[in-house]
Chains A and B, each alone.
Chain A
Amino acid sequence: MIREKAEALARRGSLLTAVALLALAGVYLRALMFTPIERFQGPAQKIFYVHAPAAWSGLLAFAVTGLLSVLYLWLRDRKVDLVAAASAEVGLAFSVIMLTTGPIWAKPIWGTWWTWDARLTSTLFIFLLFVGYQVLRGAITDHETRARYSAVIGILGLVLVPFIHMTVYLFRTLHPDPVVMKPGSPSLPGEMLVTLLTSFGVFTLLYLGFLAQRYALAVLRDLKDEEASRAVS
């Protein structure tokens, strides 16, 4: 019963991922052919249509992990822990996209691959924190203990991020100001805005597709573990 459900979820997840990947190709077609070139940054700005949405999906994934961690300590439901873990792993993938596309853009525009700006530093530390989260999960064999401990890290991480942001903000900052999520109306020209918002939607779909598949995999793996321990005993 659980197995059939998980397999169905995995199928739906891969379908969603396939649709999202097609849409991503569409976004890029639009970004490259039908969206005007930015006056100051030139073609380098095109990477923005991947970078910002990937960052969005990555941060969304980590926020979901953090909130589910709170929920886990409250409900103690194994499914909640598995979704949190799946989200953390998917978030790592998106963070890698964000952390590689960022420097590629920064080199021609800022003249440097990396700078210790508030947003760069916070996202780097979120990434490292969740690498730690994964390593911790790998170092605990008992399901229940693993779930509790990773929930603790998830919650601590959620609280830490604003502090790191504040820290670097007090230090100094350089990242371009937000162009969409900011007080007042978005400052991006209409055509670019449409491309960007489509890309945000596509990356959210990608996140959901990955999450569903990763969660289904975790459930199936759990089943295998149980079967194995039953066979031994």
Chain B
Amino acid sequence: MRDALRAALAIAGKDLAIEWRTKTALVSSVTFAVLVLAVLYFARDPTAVGAVDVAPGALWVTFTFAAMIGLNRAFLLERENRAMDGIRLAPVSPQAVFFGKLAANLVFVGTVELVSLPLFILFYDVPMVRGLPALAGITAMATLAFVAVGTLLSSMVVRTRFAELMLPLLLLPFLVPPVVGAVQATARILADRPLSEVQGWLKLLAAFDIVFVTISTFLFEATLEE
């Protein structure tokens, strides 16, 4: 168990070190997030729809689309020089590899979210101070949900033709439950309503997290070259 944890941390650390030295994906994802936030601000009739009405949707479209750029890259690293073969040769369980990859992706997507959230508050001028802890919780739950499935799918699509095209096509259906739930919860938080109003959504998010993190962990082995 401790060995598996050490292996997972080593894999996550390696991925993050590579990203930290190049910063290519991080810079692209953050810039992309800012662009999406800006474009979505103008994608409405300003005389009929207030910015705050489109804000929750805009935030989550931004988060998920920016995350997809990072996810696309996660296993591309392992493809170069057939690095995945090296990892497979190491005496490490596939579950540990998956958790390492998942952790690195979560840190990556979390960083993108951390940078774009202040910009979102600034651009959309939303009152946010009191709801911030609740929003952080919702974001953590929804992010875990789609990054877990995204990590699994990313491991498959890098070995197909048209990899960049394939990930959104396969991943978007899996975004429906977490993103709809997150948007509903965010809207309540922005309206300064208690979270008990979205109890059903919170349960759905929690169930989705548990089910999909578990199933992705076990299916990951099937996505590796044998």
Contacts and interface: CB of A to CB of B under 8 A. Distances in A.
B215 A139 contact: no
Interface stretch (A25-33, A54-62, A162-170, A216-224): A162-170
B35 interface: no
A145 interface: yes
Given A136-B166, A139-B161, A171-B180, A149 B173 contact: no
Interface residues of B, number: 32
B219 A145 contact: no
Given A170-B201, A171-B180, A156 B222 contact: no
Chain A at the B interface: SS class? helix
Interface string B171-210: 0111011001100100000000000000011001001100
Interface stretch (B39-47, B112-120, B152-160): B152-160
B33 to A, nearest CB: 24
Chain B at the A interface: SS class? helix
A159 interface: yes
A194 B148 CA distance: 47
Contacts of A149: 156, 160, 222-223
Interface stretch (A2-10, A125-133, A201-209, A225-233): A125-133
B168 to A, nearest CB: 10
A129 B170 CA distance: 7
Contact of A136 (B170, B173, B211): B170
Interface of B: 149, 152, 156-157, 159-162, 166, 169-170, 172-174, 176-177, 180-181, 184, 200-201, 204, 207-208, 211-212, 215, 219, 222-223, 225-226
Interface of A: 73, 125, 128-129, 131-132, 135-136, 139-140, 144-145, 148-149, 151-153, 155-157, 159-160, 163-164, 166-167, 170-171
Closest 5 CB pairs of A and B: A139-B160, A163-B177, A139-B161, A167-B177, A132-B170
